[in-house]
Amino acid sequence: MRTFEYLRAEDAATAVVEAAKPETRFLAGGTTLLDLMKLNVERPARVVDITRLSGLDTIEVSADVIRIGALAKMSKVADHADIKEAAPALSESLWRAASAQLRNMASVGGNLMQRTRCTYFRDPGAYSNCNKRNPGSGCAALDGVNRNHAVLGTSGVCIAIYPGDFAVSLVAFDATVIVRGASERKIPVDEFFLLPGDTPHLEHQLSAGEMIVGIEIPRSAALERSHYLKVCDRESYEFAAASAAVGIELEADGKTIRDVRIAVGGLATKPWRLRVVENLLKGKTLDEATLRTAAAATVDGAKSSGHNAFKIELAPKSWHAP
C-alpha cells in the first residue's frame, strides 16, 4: 500500500478545500475505498476523513420529501421507521445490500460512489488493460469471464456493471443528489451517473473536491407502494444478478395503473430507469398479460458479452414476476 497522508476534516468547508487538491479522496465508511487501496486500484496521496463532520447523518421524512444526509449509515436508513413506511423500496435496497457489518460502517454517500466489481478492474497486478483504470488500455473483460458484467448501457470500451442497490431505487423515484463544492448544487440522480461511452473512467458528475452532502427523494404514492427485489444465487451478501425497484399507484378502480416507476440493477453500467416500460404500462390495467408484454421492453438494446447472456433472460422477470 502506498504511504498516504490522512486528514480528519472538522468542517465541511475545509473538507471540500482539502479534497480539491490532487490525488485526494474522501473517506467515509471506507468499505470501498480501503478495499480498493489494498488492491492497489486506488492509490491516493491524501485521504480526507469526513466521518466527523456534524449534521450530515440526519434522516428527515417530511410531508413531501425525504432527506438523507450523506454520512447516514446504510443500516440506520434501512431501519428508519418512517422510511420503511414512506419508501419501502429504499429501505429494502439497503438491507438487501452487503452484510450487516458493512451496512453498519458504510455511508449512503459512499454507497452511491461505490465502484464496479469488475474483477479485471480490481486486479491491476495482472491486467493493465482496463479502460476504466487506465484510459485507452483496452478492456480485459470483453473476452474474459464476464458473467457479472452489464448487458445494458455498455460500450465497446467498457461493460462494467454499476453494482449498487440503493442507487437503483433512487433512480426509480427521481431522487436528487445534493453536492457541495465551492457552492451547493443539486443533480438528478439519473444524471449523476454517467454512461461509459468512450470515457469509462468518468463515472459521475462530481468535480474534484465536490462532496455529496445529502440525497432528496420526493414522496409519492408509488414510492409508498414500492418494493425492491434482488435476485442472486446466494440468499444474502451478494451483488445482484438482477434487481428491480418498482413502485406503483393505481386509480381509484384498483386496477388501472396511474403511476409506475421501474429501475433495474445488476444489469447495466449505471442504475437503469425503464421509462419506456413505464410509459407502456401507464393507464393500462394491471394484469399479468400487460406486464409480460411491457416486460419484454426491459432489455431493449441489451447486448450479451458471453457469460452474461442469462441476464437478458432474467432481467424482464426481475420486476414482472409478481
Ligand X SMILES: Cc1cc2nc3c(=O)[nH]c(=O)nc-3n(C[C@H](O)[C@H](O)[C@H](O)COP(=O)(O)OP(=O)(O)OC[C@H]3O[C@@H](n4cnc5c(N)ncnc54)[C@H](O)[C@@H]3O)c2cc1C
Which residues would be at the binding site for another protein (CB under 8 A)? 1-3, 40, 99, 117, 119-120, 123, 125-126, 143-145, 147-148, 231-239, 241-242, 310, 313-314, 317-318, 321-322
> Is residue 132 a contact residue for ligand SF4 (CB under 6 A)?
yes
Q: Is residue 265 within 8 Å of residue 240, measured between CB atoms?
A: yes
> Is residue 181 a contact residue for ligand X (CB under 6 A)?
no
**Strand locations in the chain (E):** 5-8, 24-27, 46-49, 59-61, 65-69, 176-180, 184-188, 211-218, 226-231, 242-250, 257-265, 272-273
Among 44, 69, 163, 200, binds ligand SF4 (CB under 6 A): 200
Cα maximum dimension of the chain: 64
Q: Which does 314 bind (CB under 5 to 8 A by kind): another protein, ligand X, ligand SF4, none?
A: another protein
> Is residue 141 a contact residue for ligand SF4 (CB under 6 A)?
yes
> Is residue 268 a contact residue for ligand SF4 (CB under 6 A)?
no
Residue 75 CB, nearest distance to ligand X (Å)?
11
> Is residue 16 a contact residue for ligand SF4 (CB under 6 A)?
no
Residues in the chain, how many? Answer: 322
Per-residue contact flags (x/-) with ligand X for residues 19 to 58, judged by CB under 6 A: ------xxxxxxxxx-x-----------------------
Contacts of 18 (CB under 8 A, 6+ apart): 7, 9, 24, 46, 48
**Strand locations in 1-139 (E):** 5-8, 24-27, 46-49, 59-61, 65-69
Q: Which does 26 bind (CB under 5 to 8 A by kind): another protein, ligand SF4, ligand X, none?
A: ligand X
Contacts of 161 (CB under 8 A, 6+ apart): 116, 117, 118, 148, 149, 150, 239, 266, 267, 268, 269
> Is residue 212 a contact residue for ligand X (CB under 6 A)?
yes
Instruction: Order across the sheet with 176-180: list the strands.
Output: 59-61, 65-69, 211-218, 176-180, 184-188
**Nearer CB in complex with ligand SF4: 53/139:** 139
Q: Which does 1 bind (CB under 5 to 8 A by kind): ligand X, ligand SF4, another protein, none?
A: another protein
Residue 91's CB is within 10 A of a number of other CB atoms, namely 23
**Nearer CB in complex with another protein: 214/316:** 316
Q: Which does 121 bind (CB under 5 to 8 A by kind): another protein, ligand SF4, ligand X, none?
A: ligand SF4
> Is residue 130 a contact residue for ligand SF4 (CB under 6 A)?
yes
> Is residue 239 a contact residue for ligand X (CB under 6 A)?
yes
The CA distances from residue 257 to 171, 249, 250, 317, in Å, are 20, 6, 5, 19
Give the binding range for ligand X (CB under 6 A) out of 80-88, 149-157, 160-168, 305-313: 160-168
Q: Radius of gyration over alpha carbons of the chain, in Å?
A: 19
Q: Which does 109 bind (CB under 5 to 8 A by kind): ligand X, ligand SF4, another protein, none?
A: ligand X
Computed from CA positions of residues 197, 203, 204, 205, in that sequence, does the dihedral angle turn out positive or negative? negative
Rounded Cα–Cα distance for residues 227 and 178 (Å): 24
Q: Point out which residues bind ligand SF4 (CB under 6 A).
A: 116, 118, 120-121, 130-132, 139-141, 158-160, 200
Q: Point out which residues bind ligand X (CB under 6 A).
A: 25-33, 35, 70, 74, 97-98, 102, 105-107, 109-111, 113-114, 164-166, 211-212, 239
